[in-house]
Homo-oligomer: A and B are copies of this chain.
Amino acid sequence: MIKAGIIGATGYAGAELVRILTGHKEVEIKWYGSKSYIDEKYERVYRNLFKIVDAACMDDNMEELAKQVDVIFTATPQGFLASVLTEEILSQVKIVDLSADYRIKDVKVYEKWYGITHQSPQFIEEAVYGLCEINRGKIGKETRLVANPGCYTTCSILTLYPLVKEGLIRTETMIVDAKSGTSGAGRGAKTANLFCEVNENIKAYGVASHRHTPEIEEQLGYAAGKEILLNFTPHLVPMNRGILVTAYADINKEILNGPSAEDVIRAAYDQYYAKEKFIRVLEKGVCPETRWVEGSNYVDVNFVFDERTGRVIAMGALDNLVKGAAGQAVQNMNLLFGIKESEGLEMPPLFP
Contacts and interface: CB of A to CB of B under 8 A. Distances in A.
A331 interface: no
A158 interface: no
Interface residues of A, number: 83
Contact of A352 (B173, B199, B315): B199
A266 interface: no
A323 B330 CA distance: 28
B187 A351 contact: no
A290 interface: yes
Interface string A157-180: 000000000000000010101010
A230 B19 CA distance: 39
A203 B311 CA distance: 19
A47 B292 contact: yes
A190 B189 contact: yes
Contacts of A317: 203
B239 A244 contact: no
A291 interface: yes
A207 B304 contact: yes
A50 interface: yes
B194 A194 contact: yes
A287 interface: yes
Contact of A231 (B183, B193, B248): B248
Nearest to A173: B173
A198 interface: yes
Given A12-B196, A50-B292, A280-B50, A239 B203 contact: no
Interface string A329-352: 000000000000000001111111
Interface in A246-296: 246, 248, 280, 282, 286-296
A352 B241 contact: yes
A179 B202 contact: yes
Given A19-B350, A48-B348, 17 more contacts: A47-B289, A48-B292, A52-B348, A173-B173, A182-B194, A193-B196, A195-B195, A196-B240, A196-B352, A199-B239, A200-B290, A200-B291, A201-B239, A202-B290, A230-B309, A231-B313, A295-B350
